[in-house]
Chain A
Amino acid sequence: ILNVEQSPQSLHVQEGDSTNFTCSFPSSNFYALHWYRWETAKSPEALFVMTLNGDEKKKGRISATLNTKEGYSYLYIKGSQPEDSATYLCAFNALGGATNKLIFGTGTLLAVQP
């Protein structure tokens, strides 16, 4: 059974703090790692798709790194703002499946206090 874990489960930070969270996934049969941002009552929003070991992606104040050999990805938020409050989900695509079904982690709930 393929297992994807995220830590921490939740995080409370002050506005302006920088923060990071971890996604760990199976290091074998890797195809892609996805990060999503999910606000309550809205659609999960795609942030990044990462496929290459050592990949680093950036979108504004949010960036992510990927280590496929050891099976982890970090998501960083620089200078957190209240509007960054959301659940951040990572999802793993395994190589060799019939389709690119996503296997999700439990998510990290981020709350940014003004």
Chain B
Amino acid sequence: EPEVTQTPSHQVTQMGQEVILRCVPISNHLYFYWYRQILGQKVEFLVSFYNNEISEKSEIFDDQFSVERPDGSNFTLKIRSTKLEDSAMYFCASSEAPGTQYFGPGTRLTVL
């Protein structure tokens, strides 16, 4: 069964460093998303992406964040200068159409 994959499973970085979180969505899906969950809090929406552009972003998704679909299979989330409060589990999701979103297993980001 096709699935969304994410790498790495765990990323540790120093405050101020750039990180790139990678996702491979399900191959025939057209809609892509990033969510995150800070420990003990709700899963929260960051950004959605369709037709090679951002469709919607939350207020969390400021200038430090960017997304890219560089090669038609990967979907990346970049954080330019990480802060302590960026430590969270980051989930990628994809969907064929508006409807069920299929999630990856997440990347745990730890900012020291």
- Tell me the A residues contacting B by CB distance below 8 Å: 4, 32, 34, 36, 41-44, 46, 49, 89, 91, 93, 97-107
Contacts and interface: CB of A to CB of B under 8 A. Distances in A.
Contact of A101 (B42, B48, B102, B106): B48
B84 interface: no
A100 B99 contact: yes
Range class of the B interface residue count: 20 to 34
Binding site secondary structure of chain B: strand
B45 A41 contact: no
Contacts, number: 60
Given A43-B103, A43-B104, A104 B43 contact: yes
26 contacts: A4-B42, A34-B100, A34-B101, A41-B105, A43-B3, A43-B105, A43-B106, A44-B91, A49-B99, A49-B100, A89-B43, A98-B55, A99-B31, A99-B48, A99-B55, A99-B98, A100-B48, A100-B95, A100-B99, A101-B45, A101-B56, A102-B101, A103-B45, A104-B35, A104-B44, A105-B42
Binding site secondary structure of chain A: loop
Contacts of B98: 93, 99-100
A105 B101 CA distance: 16
Interface in B72-112: 91, 95, 98-106
